[in-house]
Chains A and B, each alone.
Chain A
Amino acid sequence: MIIGSFGSVCSGGRYENLAEYYTDKKLPGVGISIGLTRLFYKLNELNLIQTEKKSISEVLIIPIVDDLRVPISIATKLRNNGVKAEIYLNSKKLKAKFKYADKLEIPYVILIGEEEIIQNKIKLKNMKTGEEKYISIDDIDTLKF
């Protein structure tokens, strides 16, 4: 059964002469067009898509220090490795920063405080499982998300 209200999601065909209004050259062609806006609207309307993905960041870096040099350098390293990384750059309470990661369902958080910097470490938290572990800053390049 065809989804009645859906109609054709893409259509096209062969034409004899593409540009006869602009040139004497004979330009035959064949083409197809997808109406993306309508396709998306229909899928949405029929409740066939409900995205759960609210952010594209793979990791949120939360600095708990005033000096942002280390958090920024870690973000840069991750980004250079192709990781989608975001730094929380607003002086809020830690709870609010976690709430942001929670609401946007960012899967990992990296915490960087004074203690961590002294020990040349970061704290990595898996937001789904709650699992936390320390990782040496020298090993940042090995992190995969």
Chain B
Amino acid sequence: MSKTEPRTLSGFMELLPNEQILFNQIKETIEDTYKRFGFLPLDTPIIELSEVLLAKAGGETEQQIYRFNKGDKDLSLRFDLTVPLSKYVAKNYGNLSFPFRRYQIGKVYRGERTQKGRFREFYQCDIDIIGDEELDLINDAELPSVIYTIFKNLGFNNFTIRVNNRKILNGLFESLGQKDNSVEVLRIIDKIDKIGKEAVKEELNKLGVLEEAITNIINFIEIEGNSEEKILKLKQLGIQNETFIKGVEELEYVIKNMKLFGIPEQNFKVDLTIARGLDYYTGTVYETFLNDYRELRKCLLRWQI
């Protein structure tokens, strides 16, 4: 009998038992922490109707979707856990208690171009807090404390949760008359860590942003100091734009309360360059980075049980 070569698609992670044990330990640490903060478990189907899953999608996202027909149904694999959450909350609105705090840990699928370190099937571990009509800003300060607790529990010490507020950037662009360009400008600023300041300037120039506005934007993102100093300098810019002022207020409030939730100052900072998910986020945005390679090596020895 001829044998089929046993093989796994590229972009799909498959581990040996010793690696899987470690993977699961990390996953369980994340889940335990989510539970400890009172988030409710949720599991949604991996397959959904394309019409439902792609209600919002477009452009790049849509091209990456695993989409197929089964019988007369047009189906797709979920590509994140947020869209299924949206559908779920809308569908079960009457049966949920708000603020609705849920966690979901599951695989999602994106047909990205295969390259090293890019996965087409991967786990996302999400927490969201959803309000009915409104959700107090204090919630924006609690989520980073969940992340802080997770990375501490995983044995990391040297990591930074970077926080920003989209209203600040949007307000700045409004005040500079760059509102129509804001999505593009944000996309470019978002790359400053990767491509550097000069390349950002060049790209802004190509976009048709005036020299003076570019200078203002760069001055803005180069504001330095600790979190309090940055907030102070933002206020001192004297920008009389409503959105900008609201953003600075929100950021100040979130930072203040992150401390209240017990995040040490060395583990977070204001980073005015973070833009995140360009058309999606409207206020607070976060990114978390692991900092020190050597320290990382040390703390991960803990996992070699």
Contact = CB atoms under 8 A, between A and B. Distances in A.
| A in complex with B | yes
B19 A51 contact: yes
Q: Of B55, B90, B127, which is in contact with the most chain A CB atoms at under 10 Å from its CB?
A: B90
A13 B135 CA distance: 13
| Chain B: interface size category | 35 or more
| Chain A: interface size category | 35 or more
A34 B150 contact: yes
Chain B, interface SS category: mixed
A15 interface: yes
Contacts of A49: 22, 300, 303-304
B85 A18 contact: yes
B82 to A, nearest CB: 7
B300 A30 contact: no
Interface in B20-59: 21-23, 26-27, 30, 52, 55-56
A35 B18 CA distance: 21
A18 B130 contact: yes
Interface string B80-91: 111001110111
A130 B167 CA distance: 65
Interface of A: 1-3, 6-16, 18-19, 21-23, 25-56
Interface of B: 13, 17-19, 21-23, 26-27, 30, 52, 55-56, 80-82, 85-87, 89-91, 93, 105, 117, 119, 121-135, 139-140, 143-144, 146-147, 150, 159, 166, 193, 276-277, 280-293, 296-297, 300, 303-305
27 contacts: A8-B287, A11-B286, A12-B285, A13-B276, A13-B285, A13-B286, A15-B281, A16-B282, A16-B283, A22-B87, A25-B93, A27-B90, A27-B131, A28-B131, A29-B128, A29-B129, A30-B283, A32-B146, A33-B80, A33-B126, A34-B124, A37-B13, A40-B23, A51-B19, A51-B303, A52-B305, A53-B18
